Amino acid sequence: MSYHAGEYDVIVIGAGHAGSEAALAAARLGSKTLLLTINLDTIAFMPCNPSIGGPAKGIVVREIDALGGQMALTTDLTYIQMRLLNTGKGPAVQALRAQSDKALYGRVMKETIENQENLTLRQGMVERIVANGGKVAGVVTQTGAQYFAKAVVLTTGTYLRGRIIIGDVSYQSGPNGQLPSMRLTDSLIDLGFSLTRFKTGTPPRVNRNSICFDHLAAQPGDPEPRHFSFRDDVAPRDQMDCWLTYTTEDTHGIIGENLHRAPMFSGDIEGRGPRYCPSIEDKVVRFRDRPAHQVFLEPEGRNTAEWYVQGLSTSLPEDVQVQMLRTIPGLERVEMLRPGYAIEYDAMLPTQLWPTLETKMVSGLFTAGQINGTSGYEEAAGQGIMAGINAAMHALNREPVVLHRSDAYIGVMIDDLVTKGTSEPYRLLTSRAEYRLLLRNDNADERLMDIGHRIGLLPNERYDRFLAKREGVEAEKRRLRSVRVQPSQLEEVFSDRGIAMPSAAVTLEQLLKRPEIDYTLLNQMFPSGETVSDEVSQQVEIDTKYEGYVTRQTQEINKQKKLEELRLPADIEFSAIAGLSNESKEKLAQVKPMNVGQASRIEGVSPADISVLLIWLEARSRRRAANG
Amino acid sequence: MDSDTIAAIATAVGEASIAVIRVSGSCALGVVDRIFRGRVSLEQAPSHTVWHGWIVRLDSGQHIDEVLVTVMKAPRSYTTEDVVEIGCHGGTQAVQAILLELLRAGARLAEPGEFTKRAFLGGRVDLAQAEGVMELIGAQTVAGKDAALRQVEGSLTKLIKALRQNIVELMAHIEVTIDYPEHDVEEATSELIKDGVTRLSRELRDLIATAASGRVLKTGIRTVIVGRPNVGKSSLLNQLARAERAIVTDIPGTTRDIVEEGIQIAGVPLRVSDTAGIRETTDVVERLGVMRSRQAIKDADLLLIVIDASEALEEEDEELLALVSSLPAIVVLNKMDLPPRIGLEEISQHVALERIVQYSVFRPELLRDLEQAILRVVFGGELQPRDATFLANARHLSLLEQASVSLQQVLESLDMGVTLDVLAVDLRQAWVTLGEIIGETPREDLLDQIFSQFCLGK
Ligand SMILES: Cc1cc2nc3c(=O)[nH]c(=O)nc-3n(C[C@H](O)[C@H](O)[C@H](O)COP(=O)(O)OP(=O)(O)OC[C@H]3O[C@@H](n4cnc5c(N)ncnc54)[C@H](O)[C@@H]3O)c2cc1C
Ligand SMILES: Nc1nc2c(ncn2[C@@H]2O[C@H](COP(=O)(O)OP(=O)(O)OP(=O)(O)O)[C@@H](O)[C@H]2O)c(=O)[nH]1
Ligand SMILES: [Mg+2]
């Protein structure tokens, strides 16, 4: 029995990290939005690590904030530990990482969603996506509710035909005992999509009261915690420590004895797992001669004794997990609260998507998050906000938004996914970005707030704050360029510190470019009349010191952007273009790049193929001109 | 569009007395200025003027050759970009030296067909020509990575691969330090990177020294025209050379000695030899000629076997066709304008169809078919130039030098206390540049390296 349950501009399926951002973005852009999810009690739930951020990922969180998204603020309001990582390794790779209070995070996100104008939240399991003539029309739930919409965003995470495996036991399930979504896969296949099977895993959880901390090393948060969101109004929070311990020879012994019961080795798992998140049994087998592996003990929240055992992801049988845990210093008498497990699920081949995250096959249908073959909360949220924006744009008949690889890690990720696909769960790493020096933690606002504000997602007051900062940065840079100092003015400080003297007068800018001189020292010697905020001085310092490299990368980007501007017609028949190699004809037809720039990044498409495409485009436009 | 500056030898490489090197791109004037000493700076020179001067070495200023330089400014040039043509003394030494200097000064070697491609994209040449270029580029695509590899001599390839492997291990180490800050892998410290890069930098410099001293630019692919007397060999040479180089008569046995001509097909230099027709003869001079023909066959990189289609196959024809199994060759079935006495089928028993070109020197429009067939062999994989180094040498040398500069930059940055994120940029650049020499592009290798070298996970 089904019934007509309502009409919307945008329907978002799933309220995980992707779905929450998507729904909030769509609603904030003014489209009437419905958010459907299996269980209202697990909104923005973290089925794995209680942590948000880290290298590359933390920068994504800043980017989401700069566009007008939610993840940064919710994290700032709920963290139990905050650290700035990579401080000694250069500003381009610095990143924030927070330990989250899992339950609180979900609750704050739920409240935000409940109170968002234009947004309706409803519990429901979607079983079918309805499309007519290649266009999405709506969805049908298990209970027979039919919802209609101009755009649908699918963010089902690891729920599609989920199967949990613990040793020799396996059962159908979503993560963490949630209901799996068993029927939706068929609907997607009916629509013509190709799916693949991926897997991931999580470690056991233990009771804090059974841990002995006496000989463990504490890992405290930063004494002066920073925050993710570009705002002045978030207060620092009390922090909790994490703890470090190690596996032992005994741990490895127990794993070795029980390998035959590990599904990864007995062949019970068909899904493809990520290389960068191997289970402890994987690690012990692949790196046999390591005597110990790190294990971090992390609180899952302020009001719970449940702790996460990072480093011990496993799908070994439950009894082995307990034995294994108790070989680890500090955990000799530990009580395991939940076993670790592996989970298999269906994911879409992301090359079926346009860079807007809209599916090529069904207009108005968007997908985001783990269903697109990624792994990680931040990756999911980054796609979620873009899918939400573009679904709203679609519903409102406005121009879609695509971030370039040089704009954001989000752009890098989406471009990688839709251009190259992925054969394992995809995780962002800083090395995936060719313009890493530009995609920094400190300048996410500079990179994205113009876009966020232009489309109407970033509120005016936040944009104004940014404009003031931008002006502050420009003003200070002007000062550094205009003030010249004589060698004699430097003599005292320089000789004290053993810094080589310049032979003639220099500008402050030139001084700041020298590695031994930082902004703090410079400002001590030649103070600015005005107060310069940390945010501003940091930006000035980085921009100045990096200038040479940034200019070089910007030149490369501009060249690439020209290719990006050359659009390829959607109906292009690559197989008919003489001069393309057969391999690239196939790849191009499969990926259907939107422009020559994207084509150039497809694996197997050579520079020569690009030349052929350029000539073909020019020939085509000449023929058209000739035919009037 | 393509704003980078390209350079190539525009005339045939060989012993001709004058050679022209063409440079095109938005920085063409600036690039040449860096190595040109004349009365003006070319950037200041009016368009369509010719200047006398010297090409010098970028580093030492030492004179290389006396030249005449023609400046054609955008858009009034073939490619519609700024173009400089350097007329220098012919002879491979000077030409290669100048080309190398251009690459050092910031140009890169043009791909086959690239000048025409730019001309077309700039609105110059017509569609038909552009389509020819597309096919040509296509042929090159097929060859792809192998072609790049083949140009490099085996031992050099091995050394470069080893260097790259060392670099990528170091890169992986840096990346892990950055992406997994809390993992208990040994941090990529400055000392560690310094040790590694210093060693690599030394190895690379040794490599450059060998490459620079050991090899000179060879004069192109040795292409030998063979066949019975009077089948039209000399006529063919003249056509390829677009000049009356060899004597053509209807008397069999006209050509007695080898006539050689340097030509270029779409930027690929060939040294084409016309030979004496092969037959048993009592004439002493002709017999010597036939001996030379046979020697030339042995030395050839590529054979053009000419057969007179208006006559029945003879023993000598069969003998030549038999060579096809041991050497890259193209069969030119000539005189197709006359009533044929040999069919395609007959020849295709000896040779694959795509290796046969039906031809007539009286139908010049067929010349393109022949040239395309030659390029297919060149880029298609089976050609192994004996010296494997034509043109490639200058390119390799300049890429090796660029990689070396990048490594040097890493060392300088280390001394100045620059952070990992910046060091990684130059290190990666060295790795990418070395990869270009052997036709390898970056992509996943680095990630593969990271995950096989280090134990990471949650
Ligand atoms: C066991 C496990 C281990 C993991 N380990 C890691 C790790 O080590 N590192 C890492 O980076 N990431 C890990 N992750 C991944 C991380 O949790 C996800 O990438 C992230 O949560 C994905 O966000 P999402 O929004 O795409 O999906 P989810 O957060 O999974 O949300 C999916 C949402 O969709 C809803 N839904 C599903 N089907 C339907 C339907 N038919 N109708 C309505 N609603 C539906 C669900 O109720 C849920 O709210 C792990 C995940 C699991 C489960
Ligand atoms: N009809 C016709 N005549 C041709 C063709 N090619 C060459 N000839 C004629 O054949 C005769 C021989 O041409 P050459 O080019 O001198 O032949 P060759 O192979 O160099 O001869 P030798 O030097 O004597 O070995 C000349 O009269 C040419 O004009 C052709 O395609 N068609
Ligand atoms: Mg002759």
Q: How far is the C-alpha of A593 from the C-alpha of A595, rounded, in Å?
A: 6
Determine which residue's CA is closest to atom 13 belonging to ligand 2. B232
Cβ pairs A/B, distance under 8 A: 150
Ligand 3 center from residue B277 Cα (angstroms): 7
Determine which residue's CA is closest to atom 32 belonging to ligand 2. B335
Instruction: Work out the average pLDDT over A597-606.
Output: 89
Q: What is the pLDDT of residue B442?
A: 61
Q: Is pLDDT above 70 for A394? A: yes
Minimal Cβ distance to A515: which of B138, B141, B417: B417
Lowest mean pLDDT among B87-96, B114-123, B209-218, B437-446: B209-218
Cβ separation B421–A581 shorter than 8 A: no
Question: What one-character-per-residue DSSP string does B161-210 give?
Answer: HHHHHHHHHHHHHHHHHHH-TTS-SPP--HHHHHHHHHHHHHHHHHHHHH
Q: Is B289 in the pocket of ligand 2 (CB under 6 A)?
A: no
Q: Is pLDDT above 70 for A411? A: yes
Determine which residue's CA is closest to atom 14 belonging to ligand 2. B232
Going by pLDDT thresholds of 50, 70 and 90, the confidence category of residue B92 is low
- For the segment A607-620, what is each residue's pLDDT rounded down to a tens digit? 888 888 988 898 88
Minimal Cβ distance to A606: which of B135, B144, B175: B144
Q: What is the pLDDT of residue B10?
A: 77
Give the closest residue to A543 by CA, choosing from A450, A448, A472, A449.
A472
CB B208 within 8 Å of CB B200: no
What is the reported pTM?
Answer: 0.80
Q: Is A211 in the pocket of ligand 1 (CB under 6 A)?
A: no
Cβ separation B181–A294 shorter than 8 A: no
- The share of chain B scoring above pLDDT 90, in percent, equals 39
- For the segment A578-592, what is each residue's pLDDT rounded down to a tens digit? 888 888 899 999 999
Minimal Cβ distance to B178: which of A86, A294, A619: A86
Please check whether residue A422 touches B, CB under 8 A. no
Q: What share of chain B is helix, strand, coil (3-state, %, to 5)?
A: 45, 15, 35
Q: How far is the C-alpha of A611 from the C-alpha of A615, rounded, in Å?
A: 6
Cβ separation A85–B182 shorter than 8 A: yes
| Residue count of chain B | 458
Is pLDDT larger for residue A571 or for residue B214?
A571
Going by pLDDT thresholds of 50, 70 and 90, the confidence category of residue B154 is low
Cβ separation A608–B130 shorter than 8 A: no
Q: Is pLDDT above 80 for A313? A: yes
Lowest mean pLDDT among A159-163, A444-448, A565-569, B277-281: B277-281
Backbone angles phi, psi at B278, to 5 degrees: -90, 120
Ligand 1 center from residue A46 Cα (angstroms): 8
Cβ separation A608–B137 shorter than 8 A: yes
Instruction: State which of A264-273, A385-394, B68-77 shows the largest mean pLDDT.
Output: A385-394
Q: Is pLDDT above 60 for B153? A: no
Q: What is the pLDDT of residue B362?
A: 92
Any alpha helices (H) in A483-546, and if so which ranges? 487-497, 508-513, 519-525, 534-545
Per DSSP (E only), the strands in B36-120 are: 36-38, 49-56, 63-72, 83-89, 108-109
Q: What is the pLDDT of residue B214?
A: 42
Q: What is the pLDDT of residue B444?
A: 60
Q: What is the pLDDT of residue B284?
A: 85
B-facing residues of A in 452-471 (CB < 8 A) are none
Atom number of ligand 2 nearest to Cα B228: 25
Secondary structure letter of residue A502 according to DSSP: P
| Chain A contact set for B142 (CB, 8 A) | 581
| Chain B contact set for A562 (CB, 8 A) | 1
Atom number of ligand 2 nearest to Cα B359: 31
Q: Is pLDDT above 50 for A19? A: yes
Instruction: Work out the average pLDDT over B42-68.
Output: 93
Which pair of structure tokens corresponds to residue B223? Answer: 């292409």
Mean residue pLDDT of chain A comes to 94
Ligand 3 center from residue B236 Cα (angstroms): 9
Residue type, B29: L
Lowest mean pLDDT among A27-31, A209-213, B14-18, B56-60: B14-18
Q: What is the pLDDT of residue A386?
A: 98
Secondary structure letter of residue A176 according to DSSP: G
Q: What is the pLDDT of residue A216?
A: 95
Q: What is the pLDDT of residue A268?
A: 67
- The share of chain A scoring above pLDDT 70, in percent, equals 99
Instruction: Work out the average pLDDT over A264-272.
Output: 71
Q: Is A154 in the pocket of ligand 1 (CB under 6 A)?
A: no
Secondary structure letter of residue B40 according to DSSP: S
Mean residue pLDDT of chain B comes to 82
Cβ separation A562–B1 shorter than 8 A: yes
Instruction: Work out the average pLDDT over B23-33.
Output: 95
Distance from CA of B91 to the nearest CA of A (A): 30
Q: What is the pLDDT of residue B97?
A: 84
Q: Angle of helix B190-214 relative to helix B420-437, nearest 10 degrees?
A: 30
- For the segment B172-206, what is each residue's pLDDT rounded down to a tens digit? 999 989 988 887 777 778 888 999 999 999 988 88
B380: which residues sit within 8 A by CB, 6+ positions away?
Answer: B139, B142, B143
Is pLDDT larger for residue A91 or for residue B389?
A91
Minimal Cβ distance to B179: which of A275, A283, A431: A431
Q: What is the pLDDT of residue B86?
A: 95
- For the segment A206-262, what is each residue's pLDDT rounded down to a tens digit? 999 999 999 999 999 999 999 999 999 899 999 999 999 999 999 999 999 999 888
Q: What is the pLDDT of residue B155?
A: 62
Cβ separation A584–B450 shorter than 8 A: no
Determine which residue's CA is closest to atom 9 belonging to ligand 2. B232
Q: What is the pLDDT of residue B457?
A: 60
Going by pLDDT thresholds of 50, 70 and 90, the confidence category of residue A204 is very high
- Tell which of A87, A93, A546 to mutate to test the B interface (max B CBs under 10 Å): A93
- The share of chain A scoring above pLDDT 90, in percent, equals 78
- For the segment B350-382, what is each residue's pLDDT rounded down to a tens digit? 888 888 999 999 998 899 889 888 877 766 544
Is pLDDT larger for residue A270 or for residue A132?
A132
Q: Is pLDDT above 70 for B255? A: yes
Element (H, E) at B149: helix B127-151
Q: What is the pLDDT of residue B387?
A: 34
- 3-state SS class at A298: strand
Q: Is pLDDT above 50 for B388? A: no
- For the segment A569-581, what is each residue's pLDDT rounded down to a tens digit? 988 999 998 888 8
- For the segment B294-319, what is each residue's pLDDT rounded down to a tens digit? 888 887 888 999 999 999 999 999 99
Is pLDDT larger for residue B210 or for residue B394?
B394
Residue written as tokens 């990290």?
A: A17
Instruction: State which of A173-187, B175-189, B279-293 shows the largest mean pLDDT.
Output: A173-187
Q: Is pLDDT above 60 for B391? A: no
| Pairing state between β A242-246 and A294-299 | antiparallel
Minimal Cβ distance to A578: which of B134, B417, B421: B134
Question: What one-character-per-residue DSSP string does A144-159 give?
Answer: -EEEEEEEEEE--TT-
Q: How far is the C-alpha of A288 from the C-alpha of A233, rounded, in Å?
A: 50
Determine which residue's CA is closest to atom 2 belonging to ligand 2. B335
Give the ipTM of the model, two decimals please. Answer: 0.87
CB A502 within 8 Å of CB A490: yes
